[in-house]
């Protein structure tokens, strides 16, 4: 028995099997113990690496495309081939890259939920029908709902009689609220039509979404260790560094008629106290309607007309009629001066692109209270632009930081070119893991 062995041999039995076998090889075949130990450690490390790579391949859903590889280079090759468009990368990713990112937080969190859905995918998923259920009511579908919510983590695992599990009680109501919150639905705790549709989504579909998200996280990380992500599906901006979330804030994005495009670019400039030159589409819709409703709208909101040389044109903006306004905008350029009424607020962030899209502040902060925030003409409005600006400027030189701080206290328009432009990716990812580690699911904004 182990209890009768000396402490030296008990320690040997605690080693991995491959190491124990190597010890026996030392004594049986006369291998030098020091060399054997080195070989054993190297073999153990290699096996651990292969297990990590194999796990990543399986979580990406690439298993069926793999033979039984026994070396790390083969795994690296298949990962590069399957999740990267190598034509867009300067070089394929190395083994070191995969080992570096595999345990980073966002990738780890995504893989954790993949494991959950891989297990759920083995079940025959219950089908829920739309029923107007009230608390205290008993129905066979309630047991199905309870089972689904418990498997998804929206309620705790339960031990109830077959009679009790069919009763629509407080735990079911709260579980539905948790489920609805994670899916961007109205958190009523009721079994409404949208909730039924989401409950009936098969784990296979969610698993595919998560695997796509995992591939996205890996490809994004391959291009930038530190980057900005604007997810149109979640109406959120995040700054990530090595998988860790450094900043997060709500955003407002383009409406149905003026959708914000998917982009991959950089934040290159910050303008403090920007003026605003509205595009023609806004002039003849929003501003024209405002002038028609309020003849003093232009003066109240600090608009001016500029001539071809950029100078202010002296025009009487008191009680401007619609016809006068149309005449003015044909001859001169309409500009809104910097200030608290300016549509761009205190900050404007330049991102080079072909769509005249940029990020900016907004004076209408109340709109961030809305759940659905597809409200702009395409540009991205930030809830806390001062925090975003501070993050970007803190990456610059101390002299730039001082000049920027000074500019924030003034009303003059000042532009700062970033010596270290930060990559920004505007995407529409319907699936992601939030700060609390919960899986969030939304509709895809791009459709």
Q: What is the pLDDT of residues 43-100, one digit of tens each?
A: 666 888 988 999 999 999 987 666 666 788 888 888 888 888 655 665 668 899 999 9
Task: Report the candidate in 35, 88, 123 with the shortest Cα–Cα distance to residue 223.
Answer: 88
Q: At the fourth CATH level, which superfamily is domain 126-201?
A: PGBD-like superfamily/PGBD (1.10.101.10)
What pLDDT is attached to residue 82?
84
Domain range list for the chain? 2-89, 126-201, 225-274+343-441, 280-336
Say whether pLDDT at 222 is over 70.
yes
pLDDT of 20 above 80:
no
Residue 25 pLDDT > 70 = no
Q: Which of 6-10, 27-31, 139-143, 174-178 has the lowest mean pLDDT?
A: 6-10
**Fold annotation for 225-274+343-441:** L,D-transpeptidase catalytic domain-like (2.40.440)
Give the pTM.
0.85
pLDDT in tens, 100-141: 999 999 999 999 999 999 999 999 999 999 888 889 999 999
Coil, strand or helix: which one is 147? helix
Q: For residue range 308-336, what is the model confidence (pLDDT) as tens digits?
A: 888 888 888 999 999 999 999 999 999 99
Rounded mean pLDDT, 255-273: 97
Written in H, E and C, the secondary structure of 264-327 is: EEEEEEEEECCCECCCHHHHHHHHHHHHHHCCCHHHHCCEEEECCCCCEECCCCCCCCHHHHHH
């Amino acid at each position: 028995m182990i209890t009768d062995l000396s402490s030296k041999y008990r320690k040997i039995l605690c080693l991995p099997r491959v190491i124990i076998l190597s010890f026996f090889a030392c004594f049986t075949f006369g291998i030098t113990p020091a060399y054997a130990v080195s070989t054993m450690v190297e073999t153990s490390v290699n096996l651990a690496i292969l297990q990590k790579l194999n796990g990543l391949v399986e979580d990406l859903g690439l298993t069926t495309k793999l033979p039984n590889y026994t070396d790390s280079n083969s795994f690296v090759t298949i990962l590069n081939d399957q999740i990267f468009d190598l034509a867009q990368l300067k070089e394929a990713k190395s083994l070191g890259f995969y080992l570096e990112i595999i345990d980073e937080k966002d990738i780890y969190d995504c893989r954790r939920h993949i494991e959950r859905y891989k297990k759920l995918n083995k079940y025959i998923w219950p089908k829920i029908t739309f029923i107007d259920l009230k608390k205290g009511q008993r129905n066979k579908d309630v047991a199905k709902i309870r089972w689904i919510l418990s498997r998804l983590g929206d309620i705790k695992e339960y031990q109830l009689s077959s009679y009790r599990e069919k009763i629509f009680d407080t735990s079911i109501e709260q579980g539905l609220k948790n489920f609805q919150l994670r899916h961007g639905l109205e958190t009523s705790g009721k079994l409404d039509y949208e909730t039924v549709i989401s409950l009936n989504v098969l784990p296979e579909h969610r698993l595919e979404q998560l695997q796509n998200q995992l591939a996205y996280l890996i490809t994004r990380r391959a291009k930038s260790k530190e980057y900005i992500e604007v997810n149109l599906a979640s109406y959120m901006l995040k700054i990530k560094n090595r998988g860790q979330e450094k900043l997060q804030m709500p955003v407002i994005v383009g409406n149905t008629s003026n959708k914000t495009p998917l982009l991959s670019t950089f934040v290159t400039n910050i303008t403090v106290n920007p003026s605003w030159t509205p595009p023609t589409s806004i002039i003849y819709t929003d501003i024209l309607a405002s002038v028609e409703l309020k003849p003093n709208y232009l003066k109240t909101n600090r608009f001016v007309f500029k001539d071809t040389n950029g100078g202010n044109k002296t025009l009487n903006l008191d009680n401007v009629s619609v016809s006068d306004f149309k005449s003015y905008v044909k001859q001169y350029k309409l500009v809104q001066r910097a200030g608290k009424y300016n549509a761009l607020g205190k900050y404007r962030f330049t991102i080079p692109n072909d769509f005249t899209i940029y990020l900016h502040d907004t004076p209408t902060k109340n709109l961030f209270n809305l759940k659905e925030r597809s409200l702009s003409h395409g540009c991205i409005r930030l809830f806390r632009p001062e925090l975003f600006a501070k993050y970007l400027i803190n990456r610059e030189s101390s002299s730039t930081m001082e000049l920027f701080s000074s500019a924030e206290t003034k009303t003059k328009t000042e532009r700062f070119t970033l010596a270290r432009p930060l990559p920004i990716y505007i995407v529409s990812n319907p699936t992601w893991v939030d700060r609390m580690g919960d899986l969030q699911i939304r509709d895809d904004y791009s459709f």
